[in-house]
Amino acid sequence: MSGIMDNFSWLYGKPSCQGRIKVEPEDFIVNENLGFDFAGHGEHFMVKIRKTGENTKYVVNELAKACGVKSRDVSWAGLKDRHAVTEQWLSVHLPGKPDPDLTQFVAEHPGVEVLETARHDKKLRPGDLSGNWFQLRLRDLDQPEAVLERLTHIAAHGVPNYFGEQRFGHSGNNVVKARAWGNDEFRVRDKSKRSFYLSAARSWLFNMILSARIEQKLVHTVMAGDWLQPGSDAGLESGMTGHLVEDVAAAQQAVDDSSWLLTAPMMGDNALPTTGEAEAFEMALVEQEPLLLKLIRDNRMRHERRPLLLKPTDMAWAQEGDQVTVSFSLPAGCFATAVVRELMLEPELEDKENNNENSDQ
């Protein structure tokens, strides 16, 4: 990708190939995996939809009307791209009411299909999913062979677990606003804006540390005082599961065989769990952004850890002329754009501010 993400290092060097993505909605397919079964009964009417070229929140509002409830009674596990074909579950709170007939809803919204319905005893909440499966078509590639070579590296060694550009807003505006808020230039009362700016601040600091470790060739190398997380899908979620490195040689072996993962901080108002060399490395970087750090601490965010590297699973790809279609699965909280960024550059990035949500999560 390009733009705001050019601030951060590439794991395999800046791509030489240029191409295009999301020319058509069908070029970006996302299928949500909740990772659990529904109870089959309960107050919540579960609706699996496939939407094409539609915004999740717009569909939520329209589904609420069709079910005779308010928009706040409809919830989701993850937002999905507008300019894409996406499958996801929505939950509608309908206590004591029968399943509604959605025939008219589908007829009035040609970009939305209802695939399944069910009942459950709990509402969906943001983050209630194990991951997403993606199928992406990369078009107009001027060096498709370079993309294929990089795909083999990614399948073997993964990509940087960066937060994607959509986390930071158009031209990084969420980070700019977060700095201004941290500088007490204005107050933020709107709950959603507070969340956007705080998430952008923490994500920016994480990306800074990850980028520096790549640049200094420390992304695979254990530092004294590092914090490791288990090398499992669950460990890819931000959290504090893990342990402090005391024996560097033993930790390096565990990282080399992927049983443990190196991490960087999602900053909070409490002390870093890292010590020594790793703590000094992290603090030297985050202190370059004092306004973001102040904002995070003023809002009493709690420190978490996030793995440095992301290894897609179920990877497959095929070339057809100057196009490459690639599919893979990612855990919740990870961004497909982190994979695309290592494969190619878009020469003229379109304004996606109104087309993207936190879609890769």
Active-site positions? 81
Euclidean distance between CA atoms 141 and 189, whole angstroms: 45
- Burial, 221: exposed, middle or buried (Cβ in 10 Å; 0-12, 13-18, 19+)? middle
Task: Calculate the CA 352 to chain-centre distance.
Answer: 16
Tokens representing residue 136 in the block:
């992406």
**290-298 vs 173-182: helix crossing angle, rounded to 10:** 70
Q: Which helix (H) or strand (E) holds 316?
A: strand 313-320
How many Cα neighbours within 13 Å face the side chain of 319? 13
Euclidean distance between CA atoms 256 and 62, whole angstroms: 49
- Burial, 13: exposed, middle or buried (Cβ in 10 Å; 0-12, 13-18, 19+)? exposed
Sequence-distant (6+) residues with CB within 8 A of 216 are none
Q: Which helix (H) or strand (E) holds 276?
A: helix 276-286
Name the DSSP letter for residue 166.
Answer: G
Number of Cβ atoms within 10 Å of the Cβ of 218: 17
Cβ-contact 111, 62 below 8 angstroms: no
- Burial, 158: exposed, middle or buried (Cβ in 10 Å; 0-12, 13-18, 19+)? buried
Q: Which of 184, 225, 185, 175 is nearest to 205 (CA)?
A: 175
Euclidean distance between CA atoms 292 and 3, whole angstroms: 20
